[in-house]
Amino acid sequence: MASAVRTPAATPSPAEAPLVAIADARSGTLGLRVRVRGIVTAGLGAAGSSDLFVIEDSTGGVFVRPSASTPAQVVIGDEVEVAGSLAAPYGQLEIRETTTTTITSGGEDPSPARLELGEVGEESEARLVSVRGSVESVTLDDGRLTVVIGDGVTTVRAMADPASGIVRGDVACDDVVTASGIVGQRATATGRLDGYRIWLRRRSDLAVRAPIPTDPPQTRTPAVPTSTPAATDLASALGTRGRRVDVEATVTATAALLDIGGPTIVVDDGTAAVAVLIPANAAAPGVGMRVRVTGKIGSWQGGPTVIGASVTALGELRPIEPQTAGVALGPSLEWRLVRVYGRIQGVTHAGARSRVEVLVGGRTLVVLAEPAANVSVAATDVGRLLTVTGIVRRSTSDPSAFQLLARSPVDFCLGPAVARVGGGSTGSASPGGSGNAADPSTAPGIANAGGSSVVDVAGLGARIGETVTVAGLVIGTSHGTATLDDGTGEIRLGGVNATAVIDALEPGDAVEVTGVVTRDASGLLIEVDPASIVTAPAGSSPAAFPLANPLALVAADLSASPAPTPGARGAQWRVPAGTASPDPQVILWICVGLVVAAGLSFAAIAARTRAVRQKLWSLGMRLDLRARARPRR
């Protein structure tokens, strides 16, 4: 029941727009000033953000972001009048820059509208609704619980923040649930009608029941018809939610690095890669192990996963070679093992977790270092060249953005800082001199014998015919040419007189070269002066390469790899050709060689033993014959 009128938080001015129904306001253009009245269905912080509340009238609902100067003190059941401007971040319509007047307070708790899962969308955005279905997956990420609810045809994500009081133990897969909450949206791109979810506001919004025994099994519609064969490759399965899979693949990231509601690994079968939630109490296979995975396709942050029914080790190793990515990461690379070359632009620490911004091909790419990866990176590393290998995954804060997740110190190889002048401008660089390592323009870099300025590759298009000096990481080689990446872009290195020197370069080498910028049929090229090529001092990737036990390195949990010693950090620039860790193919050949050598040695020893026995037997026979032939006295 309504109670006394609450003192208004703010009074609309006479100049405000006329009062309209919420549905009419929702049809207005962005930026339009509107005034609406409705019942509060979710208070501040109950619908995905601490500074949003939701109101609804008989025609529709809308999110409200009150002005910081006049925060709205509202609770569920209040009737309020809101005036402000329309905005739609991530596709979700809201009213901003508001003045808010509370008309009555303490009203009745609104009742949700009953919807089918397929009706959750734009027409129901910001409405208080109730849906029913079976739980397909339950995940917990940074405290936020996500419950995927399906009906055999459609799935909807119900999400709850810690303030709701709902915890992971409240619900399990295959439970039948009724979820009540506010329909929100976070579209994957501007203009797309996707990314809808239901925000659970409190514990009573999730009613959990065991599977209903009165429903005859034959009348239920299974999530996947039993006649549908299980997919035997990931590429054909990942596009269909609920599709059964039975694939053989190689583990590229083991448990502890990821936790999507439980221990999670990443596998790649050559056609695609995916995160797999391994069954409870199942042993997590190590990196490089060949496994058989059965289960069904689920989702996380809008991308594919596999909810594993079984994960069985096949007893063999088949390492996956990382792909080299020189463009922005996207859905085509999701969950793939990728290697990039670039320059560190920024480092942010959040407890034991690090966020590293890397300039790759002129674009900023985010590399995440979780505590389990044991990667050491500091703010003073800004400006250094970097080779990093990791798993491509969606950002937990923006599912449309993709990040690279490093797995271990072996994946994270720091190079030298390079003294340069940005944008291709001229200037001087003091080779080997002191400087602020956190500032790329003053950091000590690769020795520059000529004392010339190091310029960014991105600006070379305007310098055709000029002699320039560039520095970066070699990312590819072919006969007589090499490709160098300095983070701002890529440039080919060539030149008739430099062929022999360039052929000696390998991917991962940090070099500085001087030459004339030219253009040929394939694009820009630096005609290199062979005497100008300078490389950083020889070093290695992170120190611990336990080649004495190569199988342990490939099959073990990379997250448990030891951190590099502080004294070795300056030499971590060098990556062995084609790998971010000791080349698994080489390791396998070493193991095969050792086994073959051991077998040959054993065979030789056995042959020699047989020969000795035969000689002794032959000698014994001869002695026995002589003894028999000797006349008796």
Top pLDDT among 406 and 511 is at 406
Taking the CA atoms of the chain, what radius of gyration do you get in angstroms? 33
Regarding whether 531 and 425 lie in a shared domain, the answer is: yes
Top pLDDT among 502 and 584 is at 502
Q: Which pLDDT band holds residue 539 (cuts at 50, 70, 90)?
A: very low
The region of weakest confidence among 22-26, 28-32, 370-374, 598-602 is: 598-602
Q: Is 50 exceeded by the pLDDT of residue 270?
A: yes
Query: Is residue 179 in some structural domain?
Result: yes
Regarding whether 524 and 426 lie in a shared domain, the answer is: yes
Task: Give the pLDDT mean for 307-311.
Answer: 88
List the CATH number of the domain containing 266: 2.40.50.140
Give the contacts of 406 (CB within 8 A, at least 6 positions apart): 367, 368, 369, 370, 373, 375, 388, 389, 390, 412
| Mean pLDDT over the full length of the chain | 76
Say what the pLDDT of residue 220 is: 38
Say what the pLDDT of residue 408 is: 87
Say what the pLDDT of residue 268 is: 93
Regarding whether 437 and 516 lie in a shared domain, the answer is: yes
Say what the pLDDT of residue 371 is: 85
Distance CA 535, CA 457 (A): 18
Task: Give the pLDDT mean for 241-245.
Answer: 81
Q: Which pLDDT band holds residue 93 (cuts at 50, 70, 90)?
A: very high
Top pLDDT among 432 and 370 is at 370
Regarding whether 83 and 124 lie in a shared domain, the answer is: no
Regarding whether 278 and 174 lie in a shared domain, the answer is: no
Regarding whether 257 and 201 lie in a shared domain, the answer is: no
Top pLDDT among 429 and 46 is at 46
Q: Is 70 exceeded by the pLDDT of residue 393?
A: yes
Query: Is residue 567 in some structural domain?
Result: no
Say what the pLDDT of residue 148 is: 94
Say what the pLDDT of residue 341 is: 85
Q: Are 384 and 534 in contact (CB under 8 A)?
A: no
Query: Is residue 285 in some structural domain?
Result: yes
Regarding whether 98 and 120 lie in a shared domain, the answer is: no
Q: Which pLDDT band holds residue 351 (cuts at 50, 70, 90)?
A: low
Q: Which pLDDT band holds residue 7 (cuts at 50, 70, 90)?
A: very low
Query: Is residue 370 in some structural domain?
Result: no
The region of weakest confidence among 318-327, 428-437, 552-561 is: 428-437
Regarding whether 166 and 121 lie in a shared domain, the answer is: yes
As a whole-number percent, the residues of the chain with pLDDT over 70 amount to 72
Distance CA 249, CA 232 (A): 10
- Residues shown for the chain: 633
Distance CA 193, CA 185 (A): 9
From 297, 317, 337, the end of a domain falls on: 317
Q: Is 70 exceeded by the pLDDT of residue 329?
A: yes
Q: Is 70 exceeded by the pLDDT of residue 470?
A: yes
**CA nearest 253: which of 354, 337, 321, 141?**
337
Give the contacts of 407 (CB within 8 A, at least 6 positions apart): 253, 257, 287, 373, 389, 390, 391, 558, 559
Tell me the HSE value of 349 on the side-chain side, using a 13 A CA sphere: 10
From 174, 209, 244, the end of a domain falls on: 209
Regarding whether 481 and 455 lie in a shared domain, the answer is: yes
Q: Is the dihedral of CA 36, 37, 39, 42 positive or negative?
A: positive
pTM attached to this predicted model: 0.46
Say what the pLDDT of residue 578 is: 39
Distance CA 465, CA 552 (A): 52
What are the tens digits of pLDDT across the range 96-108? Answer: 988 878 788 777 7
Say what the pLDDT of residue 555 is: 42
With H, G, I as helix, E, B as strand and everything else as coil, classify residue 608.
helix
The DSSP bridge pattern shows strands 263-268 and 206-209 to be unpaired
Q: Which pLDDT band holds residue 361 (cuts at 50, 70, 90)?
A: confident
Query: Is residue 164 in some structural domain?
Result: yes
Regarding whether 423 and 519 lie in a shared domain, the answer is: yes
Say what the pLDDT of residue 210 is: 47
Regarding whether 125 and 79 lie in a shared domain, the answer is: no
Indicate the DSSP class of residue 479: T
Query: Is residue 570 in some structural domain?
Result: no
Q: Is 80 exceeded by the pLDDT of residue 465?
A: yes
3-class DSSP string for 323-383? EECCCCCCHHHCCCEEEEEEEEEEEEEECCEEEEEEEECCEEEEEEECHHHCCCCCHHHCC
Regarding whether 506 and 465 lie in a shared domain, the answer is: yes
Tokens of 495: 């030149």
Backbone φ and ψ for 426, nearest 5 degrees, come out as -95, 165
Residues linked to residue 64 through DSSP beta bridges, in sequence order: 53, 95
What are the tens digits of pLDDT across the range 445-462? Answer: 444 444 457 888 888 989
- Which residue range(s) make up the domain with 627? 583-633
Task: Give the pLDDT mean for 208-219.
Answer: 48
Say what the pLDDT of residue 109 is: 79
Distance CA 439, CA 429 (A): 13
Query: Is residue 563 in some structural domain?
Result: no
Say what the pLDDT of residue 598 is: 64
Q: Which pLDDT band holds residue 497 (cuts at 50, 70, 90)?
A: confident
List the CATH number of the domain containing 460: 2.40.50.200
Q: Report the range out of 137-146, 447-456, 557-566 with the highest average pLDDT.
A: 137-146
- What angle is formed at CA 564 by the lines to CA 560 and CA 566, rounded to 5 degrees? 140
Q: How many domains does the chain have?
A: 5
From 291, 317, 343, the end of a domain falls on: 317
Q: Is 90 exceeded by the pLDDT of residue 10?
A: no
Task: Give the pLDDT mean for 605-612.
Answer: 57
Say what the pLDDT of residue 19 is: 92
Say what the pLDDT of residue 136 is: 92
With H, G, I as helix, E, B as strand and everything else as coil, classify residue 128.
strand
Distance CA 5, CA 68 (A): 23
Q: Is 70 exceeded by the pLDDT of residue 224?
A: no
Query: Is residue 269 in some structural domain?
Result: yes
